[in-house]
Amino acid sequence: MLELRDVAVSYGRIEALKGVSLSVKQGEIVALIGANGAGKSTTLMAVSGVSALTAGTVFFRGERIDDRPVHEIVGLGISQVPEGRRIFPRMTVRENLEMGAFSRSKQEYVSGINQVFEMFPTLFERQRQLGGTLSGGEQQMLAIGRALMSRPSLLLLDEPSLGLAPIIVSRIFKILREINEQGTTVLLVEQNAKAALHLANRAYVMETGRIVMEGPASQLEKDPGIKKAYLGE
């Protein structure tokens, strides 16, 4: 479904990505783990068209997309939940969700918002409430719901557990599994490596802009080096 080939991204003289190659097959949950500054978020932004490539190519369903603008990439079926949620705080919950459906028809909007409210009953209850007044966990649900409103076939998630209590993290990851089981492929960037590896089918490990390890998530979870570096064991 998704393939990155030797992707490089630079910010001025800083090389954020140095020849990253990875793939995501349809129906998978693939985790991308690594320390702060490893290039995980930049990888997602390269896929979604936010960060311009200095080298390499990105393919989605066999079609090159790294030369397309962001709105066209969304229209192809890729949606991103950014780090820090970045909801519109002065807009209501419902208005935030409407923003996620800008590329869809009225019929798709109606079915999409019904699906989101079914998945997140709290958002239905608070649909007239301003986004900025929600709790951190509720804002994360809203950010995920907004991304789902574009009806993506590939969902990119950047640190969905950031700043949330463990009980909320468990709930969010349960929802991500449900989203995947309903047919949405997931590429997950997550510093909570233990939770990410438990959720994912496969995983990649990034260090200083490069992929240094990859394999089945269950296998990486048992790797002594991964345990020491990322799982606190």
Here the CATH number for the domain that contains residue 6 is 3.40.50.300
Domain with 4 in it: 1-71+193-233
pLDDT for the residue 228? 82
**Mean residue pLDDT across the chain:** 92
Which range, of 54-63, 81-90, 130-139, 203-212, averages the lowest pLDDT?
Answer: 81-90
Where does the chain have alpha helices with state H?
40-48, 70-76, 93-100, 106-119, 121-125, 136-148, 166-181, 193-199, 217-222, 224-230
Query: Is residue 160 situated within a structural domain?
Result: no
Task: Specify the pTM.
Answer: 0.90
Query: Is residue 232 situated within a structural domain?
Result: yes
166 vs 47 pLDDT, higher one: 47
Q: How far is CA 103 from CA 73, 93, 106, in A?
A: 11, 18, 10
Section 67-82 average pLDDT: 93
pLDDT for the residue 26? 96
d(CA 36, CA 42): 11
pLDDT band at 233 (very low <50, low <70, confident <90, very high): low
Query: Is residue 5 situated within a structural domain?
Result: yes
Examine the pLDDT at 130 and tell me if it is beyond 90.
yes
Section 178-207 average pLDDT: 94
Query: Is residue 140 situated within a structural domain?
Result: no
- Residue 166, judged by CB atoms within 10 A of its CB (0-12, 13-18, 19+), counts as exposed
Query: Is residue 103 situated within a structural domain?
Result: no
pLDDT for the residue 165? 87
d(CA 60, CA 54): 18
Examine the pLDDT at 192 and tell me if it is beyond 70.
yes
- Report the number of distinct structural domains present in the chain: 1
pLDDT digits (tens, 9 = 90+) for 96-117: 999 988 777 777 888 889 999 9
Query: Is residue 23 situated within a structural domain?
Result: yes
Query: Is residue 148 situated within a structural domain?
Result: no
Query: Is residue 124 situated within a structural domain?
Result: no
Which range, of 7-21, 34-48, 219-233, averages the lowest pLDDT?
Answer: 219-233
pLDDT for the residue 57? 97
